[in-house]
């Protein structure tokens, strides 16, 4: 199977690109770490596969509608 066909089939099944899928999985893992650990956000950034805290925060906000810091603060209020 070629790359183009793989990408097309993946999108049909998962309703997103491979890159978007990976990003969503990383953000989901970050949500778990933010909720269940006291790890600093910069360490969580590295653990979920990002080198840039700015890029991580940007993507986290895109998928979770909050920055990682806001997400953790909201959990603490609950």
DSSP state letters, the chain: --HHHHHHHHHHHHSS-HHHHHHHHHHHHHHHHHHH----HHHHHHHTT-S-HHHHHHHHHHHHSS-HHHHHHHHHH-
Count of domains for the chain = 1
- Is the pLDDT at 77 greater than 90? The verdict is no
CATH assignment at residue 24: 1.10.10.60
- pLDDT at site 32: 97
- pLDDT at site 26: 97
Tell me which residue range forms the domain holding 11: 3-77
Could you report the per-residue pLDDT of 12-69, keeping only the tens digit for each?
999 999 999 999 999 999 999 999 999 999 999 999 999 999 999 999 999 999 999 9
Buried residues in 15-44 as b, exposed as e (16+ CB within 10 A): eeeeeeeebeebbeebbebbeeeeeebeeb
């Amino acid at each position: 199977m070629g790359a183009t066909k793989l990408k097309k089939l993946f999108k049909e099944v998962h309703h997103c690109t491979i890159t978007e899928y990976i990003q969503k999985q990383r953000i989901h893992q970050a949500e778990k770490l933010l909720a269940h650990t006291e790890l600093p956000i910069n360490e969580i950034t590295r653990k979920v596969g990002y080198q840039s805290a700015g890029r991580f925060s940007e993507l986290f906000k895109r998928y979770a509608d909050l920055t990682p810091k806001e997400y953790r603060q909201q959990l603490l209020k609950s």
